[in-house]
Amino acid sequence: MAKAALGWSNPTLAEKTGLHRNTLNRAENGEAKRSTLELLRRVFEEAGIEFIPENGGGAGIRFRNRADGTRDEH
pLDDT digits (tens, 9 = 90+) for 1-24: 899 999 999 999 999 999 999 999
Mean pLDDT, the chain, whole residue set: 85
* HSE, side-chain direction, 13 A CA sphere, residue 70: 4
Distance CA 66, CA 70 (A): 5
Give the dihedral of Cα atoms 46, 65, 63, 15; nearest 10 deg: -20
Cross-strand bridge partners of residue 61: 51
pLDDT per residue as tens digits for the range 15-59: 999 999 999 999 999 999 999 999 999 999 999 999 887 776 667
